[in-house]
A and B are shown apart, each in its own frame.
Chain A
Amino acid sequence: MNLLAADPLYAKGIDLTVVLILIGKTLAVFAIVLLSVLFYIWFMRKVIADMQNRIGPQRAGPFGILQTLADGIKAFFKESSRPSAADKRVYMLAPYLALIPAVMAFAIVPIGGEVSIAGHRTYLQLADPDIGILWLLMMSGIGLYGVMLAGWSSGSKYPLLGSVRASAQLLSYEAALGLAVVGVLVHAGTLSTRGIVDGQSWTSWHSFVSNWFWLPAIGAFVIFLIAALAETNHPPFDLVEAEQELVGGFHTEYSGIRFAIFFLAEFMNLVTMSAIAVTLFLGGPSGPALGFVAADSWINVWVMPVFWFTFKLLVLLYATVWVRATLPRLRYDQLMSFGWKYLIELAFVWAMITGVVVVGADQGWNRWVTVPAAIVGGAMILGVLWLCIPRRGETVEEFR
């Protein structure tokens, strides 16, 4: 497994410039993640405030844009208390276990196109490992430990309930998330995020439907968005920290900066998941270049891809805020049954349909036969599966 080698940066061997560029890129990605969270929280609060006939933050900085920074500074200077029943080491470690994978997951996101820095060609992304998208699944799997251990080690009952919910929820939706990603990987034929983005390059306005994967993988796209919300504990799936039920869920006993770190990690995960959705389904940085400037000018090489990436990211992030402001929260058993009885089946069948369609295209079969045949076959499998699943009424009757 070679984590970095796909980048043309290493083609001419590694010297001091390459190392410096790499350090620069690392710092830049770290800064981007932190800043995006800073602004996402402000953005979310402003948009929700607008949806709820409120004003939202407005005191710190212009339009209250520094509110998150002020909150962060405040959290730093607050006392961090620890319950005496807590398992000290795990309790201290848990926030960082949540934070570090959240930062690292962003490393594989292609932010822009291929640029040239100090004579070296390189991608505007920190790493382009062969394992690509699996890196995301790894990191979100590890991030689960932070949430789970935080609740478990607090020595308190509400966090314990929260962490039990967290482990069940994140594990089950990881499955749906992984299967949804398969729908794209089969089309792209690679795990590498750069490879996926290159497969969705922009040639004309037609590319929006013909090249980007959101249309051929529309089922996977929807499943991915739902599973990603559940994976990041975003409403309506925020049972892990359901304030009205579990006070604060897994972070009830945390205070000061450790509490803030959980939130930082959570919003980082949300930004990363949205960025991955952009990469997988919406072409990442690809988009129309400016026609009136030269194709190789810095505007079209540096600015435009980053602009398109940011624009698509903002659209998805706005959608998350909208969902947050609108939907009531699901219940624990409803969440689990939705995940296991519907989402995973759908994702599985969609992956199979995709497989048939892509193999059919490779073999040169008639598309007008393979696509309907695959869909009918998938629907039949789903029908059989749903006949086997006990209905909600039956289980509730037994339960009562």
Chain B
Amino acid sequence: MSTSTHDHDASTTETDRLLRQTSEGAQVLRRDTPAQPGAREIVLTGDSWPDDDETMIINMGPAHPSTHGVLRVMMELDGETVLRAKPVIGYLHTGMEKQAEQLTYVQGGTNVTRMDYLSPMSNELVFSLAVEQLLGIEVPERAVWARMYLVELQRMASHLLFQATNGMDIGALSMMIYGWREREEVLRLVESITGLRMNNNFIRVGGIAADLPDGWQQHTLDVLELVEHGVSQYETLLVENPIWQERTVGVGTITTDEALALGATGPILRSTGFPWDLRKAQPYLAYDDVEFDVCYGSNGDCYDRFLIRLYEILESVKIIRQCIERMPGGDYRVQDRKVTPPPRARIDESMEALIHHFKLFTEGFKVPVGETYSVVESPRGEIGCYIVSDGTPKPVRMHIRGPSFYNLQSMAAMVPGSFVADAVAIISSIDPILGEVDR
């Protein structure tokens, strides 16, 4: 486990190197390239498995304590050894992408926020960035920093929850409560800012929904202190724990090439020793203005993924501290009344404001014809949003590249040859959110 330190000046060359590395990786894995000697052949799909009396097919889920929602995993067992595993998804399919075609861009945030329900603001952010690209608007500095601050809060909450569920899945039951405990404090802070604990719909096209409340700095500092204390407790409890290491080191290994071929991103790709983090690689918001490190592992196993998420909490703490220090003043959303609503007081005074308000919340705003793709780093990996606009207030097509969906594919590569208990640890270390997988 190590962290790469990028100092501010060197970040551009570092980015170039990373980009080159990725394109090379992608080339090696093109379809016409012959398989590398010794490469594992991974069967991800397949309708029927041969009937064999010596093995047992077991369906883990969709109702199982540790499949994180409604994932179903078909596993072929020889004794306790898993020969093959196939994730079966679709049990939480809600048609959100199709639904987006019926909703205006104003309503779209409410829709996408429900996909990855553990880091809703990443979804809102990527949607807002895509729409803003189409509109060609530039959000004010304060909105940029507030967005970064909120998304990092959410990353902390999400990784804290991962610590909780990962601990629980490997049998460390107290860890579950400890993780929830710190996450609760973060969510309380989020609630005091956005009004909601989850599905916030706070990051909206053109900025954020409201200005940060009074005293947010002190409240945040208090929470950060609690979180840092919590993380040091988790370190004491698990990082050096021999049983924990037995259960996670060398379990569910995956190589960089495999992870890239499967489209896995986030902590799974980073655990293989490939320091790919969009916050460094393609800085968005104000990430090139803040100091933080990218955590990456070397073995691509469950232990590395656990450590990466643990230390990313501390990196988020760093970013949030800088946000508190350097939060610029000014507007928290663009003052273009075609995109953002007028202040409530203006509606009573100005006919024009009333009309803007009415038009915005009935018809929405028109977006120029075009298509765009925006991508950010969510706690789970690259979340992308592809929008096609035909000039009306509703998108013709919206597609979300959910990192959980691609990460979940890598499960089929990690599980074969391990034990049932390992399969549980692996699913847990992928940290899939089924709402995002099925959308």
Chain A: residues with CB nearer than 8 A to chain B? 48, 51-54, 157-158, 161, 164-165, 235-236, 238-239, 242-247, 324-334, 396, 399-400
Contacts and interface: CB of A to CB of B under 8 A. Distances in A.
A332 B172 contact: no
A328 B244 contact: yes
A334 B246 contact: yes
Given A157-B56, A332-B80, A244 B417 contact: no
B58 A244 contact: no
Contact of A399 (B167, B244, B247, B417): B417
A324 B424 CA distance: 20
25 contacts: A52-B173, A52-B177, A53-B177, A53-B178, A157-B58, A158-B58, A161-B80, A164-B80, A235-B171, A235-B173, A236-B243, A238-B171, A239-B421, A244-B171, A325-B174, A326-B172, A327-B172, A328-B167, A328-B170, A328-B175, A328-B241, A330-B246, A332-B80, A332-B421, A400-B417
What 8 A-B pairs are tightest by C-beta distance, nearest first? A329-B171, A52-B177, A328-B172, A244-B66, A328-B171, A328-B170, A331-B421, A325-B174
Given A158-B58, A239-B421, A247-B64, 17 more contacts: A157-B56, A157-B58, A236-B243, A244-B170, A245-B424, A326-B172, A327-B171, A328-B171, A328-B172, A328-B247, A330-B243, A330-B246, A330-B247, A331-B422, A332-B421, A333-B80, A396-B250
Nearest to B238: A328
Given A328-B247, A333-B419, A400-B417, A247 B65 contact: yes
Contacts of B170: 244, 328-329
B215 to A, nearest CB: 26
Contacts of B250: 396
A157 B59 CA distance: 9
A166 to B, nearest CB: 13
A244 B56 contact: no
Contact of A242 (B243, B421, B422): B421
B66 A245 contact: yes
Nearest to B170: A328
Contacts of B241: 327-328
A53 B56 contact: no
A54 B177 contact: yes
B188 interface: no
B243 A244 contact: no
Contacts of A333: 80, 419
A331 B247 contact: yes
Contacts of A247: 64-65
B237 interface: yes
A236 B177 contact: no
Contact of B65 (A52, A165, A244, A396): A244
B421 A245 contact: yes
Contacts of B64: 247
Contacts of B174: 48, 51-52, 325-326
A121 to B, nearest CB: 48
A244 B424 contact: yes
A325 B238 CA distance: 13
B181 interface: yes
Instruction: Using C-beta atoms within 8 Å of the partner chain, give the interface range for chain B.
Output: 20 to 34
A330 B246 CA distance: 8
A276 to B, nearest CB: 25
A239 B56 CA distance: 19
B421 A53 contact: no
Contacts of B239: none
Contacts of B168: 244
A238 B171 CA distance: 9
Nearest to A157: B58
Nearest to A248: B65
A167 to B, nearest CB: 13
Contacts of A157: 56, 58
A105 to B, nearest CB: 27
Contacts of A327: 171-172, 241, 243
B52 to A, nearest CB: 15
Contacts of B243: 236, 327-330
A328 B177 CA distance: 14
B64 to A, nearest CB: 6
A139 B323 CA distance: 64
B279 to A, nearest CB: 31
Nearest to B176: A52
Nearest to B427: A244
B169 interface: yes
B261 interface: no
A400 B40 CA distance: 11
B16 to A, nearest CB: 37
A238 B421 CA distance: 12
A252 to B, nearest CB: 11
A242 B177 contact: no
B419 A236 contact: no
B416 to A, nearest CB: 10
B420 interface: yes
B246 A325 contact: no
B3 to A, nearest CB: 25
B419 A332 contact: yes
B181 A161 contact: no
A399 B64 CA distance: 28
Interface string B56-68: 1010000011100
Of listed A327, A331, A334, residue having the most chain B CB within 10 A = A331
A244 B177 contact: no
A15 to B, nearest CB: 54
A331 to B, nearest CB: 5
Contacts of A326: 172, 174, 237
A161 B247 contact: no
Nearest to A243: B65
B419 to A, nearest CB: 6
Contacts of B237: 326
Interface in B276-299: none
A235 B170 CA distance: 11
A189 B241 CA distance: 40
B181 A242 contact: no
Contacts of B167: 328
Contacts of A334: 246-247
A330 B58 CA distance: 22
